[in-house]
Structure formats: C-alpha cells, structure tokens
C-alpha cells in the first residue's frame, strides 16, 4: 500500500555532490537554511496613524556543516587546501546536498552556488577509544536553491 502524498519522508542517508563528483558517506548535515534580510518601512497611513510594514530584503549567504566517518578519501582535504591557499577560482564550486531514501533514491536536492570550505575539523583522537573518528566540513555558500 502506497503512502499518502502528505506523509513526511525519512532521510536514510545523505550525500554531497560537487562538480559532478558524489560523496555518499555523509552521516549528518546541519545548518542548512535559506534566509533573507527584513526591511522595516516606517510610515503614516492616510488617516495619520503610525505603521511599520515589513518587506523582504536581500537573500543571505549561509553555512552548512557536513559530518562523515574518517576514511582514506582525501577529497575534503584537497578542497580545503585550495581555499586556504587563496585559489578561489578552483575552490568556489557548484554543488548539491542530496537526501536519499532507504532504497538509495534521491528525495530532495539542495543546490549550493559558489560554495567553498571554511573549515575542516577532525574528531577527538583518543588512544583506546572505540568510537568512530569523524571529520566535519563547514561549507559557506552564496545561494541555496531547493530542486
């Protein structure tokens, strides 16, 4: 039996696609949001009453944090090096964060415009610890679109 159209979906896994290269081992995505400035227009009405009207302003740039288990894949590190050495023509990339269902089919795509890595953080290294080592990549972007 198929679920009704209004049921919410469950994101089973997440991926990052940058310049056509997909990284599907993302375990957590946080901070993904669209936001814009608010302009307050202060004016008097025809009958002389003071009124504040709120209008939409410019869209704001944002940041998103991606977490994945530490692997031998060094694609994050290469991207971070480009931005740290000021190679912004190669560091600024178009990409998308993709949410997959339990069958591996894409549910939703969040397109990032002019995205580049702000920071890369490696999880705590502790001898004898049995937890998974992680790396967190913070990506800043100029525009977010939902596809």
Are the CB atoms for 39 and 59 separated by under 8 Å?
no
Integer CA distances (angstroms), 89 to 6, 66, 92, in order:
42, 22, 6
Q: Quick one: pLDDT at residue 1? A: 46
User: What integer best gives the mean pLDDT of the chain?
Assistant: 86
Are the CB atoms for 64 and 41 separated by under 8 Å?
no
Dihedral angle of Cα 10, 70, 116, 39, to the nearest 10 degrees: 40
What is the model's pTM? Answer: 0.79
Over residues 2-12, the pLDDT tens digits come to 555 655 666 67
Measured between alpha carbons, how far apart are the two ends of the chain, in Å? 27
- Architecture of 14-146 per CATH? Roll (2.30)
Mean pLDDT is lowest, of 11-15, 115-119, 122-126, for: 11-15
Question: Looking at per-residue confidence, does 113 or 23 come out higher?
Answer: 113
Are the CB atoms for 95 and 16 separated by under 8 Å?
yes
Encoded tokens for 80: 């971070």
What residue spans define the domains of the chain?
A: 14-146
Q: Quick one: pLDDT at residue 7? A: 59
């Amino acid at each position: 039996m198929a679920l009704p159209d209004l049921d919410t979906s469950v994101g089973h896994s997440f991926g990052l696609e940058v310049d056509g290269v997909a990284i599907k081992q993302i375990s957590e995505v946080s901070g993904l949001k669209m936001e814009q400035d608010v302009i307050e227009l202060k004016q008097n009405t025809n009958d002389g009453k003071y009124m504040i009207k709120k209008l939409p302003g410019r869209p704001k740039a944002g940041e998103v944090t991606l977490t994945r288990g530490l692997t031998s894949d060094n694609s994050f590190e290469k991207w971070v090096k480009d931005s740290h050495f000021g190679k912004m023509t190669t560091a600024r990339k178009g990409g998308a964060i993709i949410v997959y269902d339990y069958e591996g089919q894409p549910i939703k795509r969040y397109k990032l415009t002019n995205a580049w890595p702000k920071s890369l953080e490696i999880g705590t290294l502790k001898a004898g610890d049995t937890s998974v080592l992680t790396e967190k990549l913070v990506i800043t972007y100029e525009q977010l679109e939902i596809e």
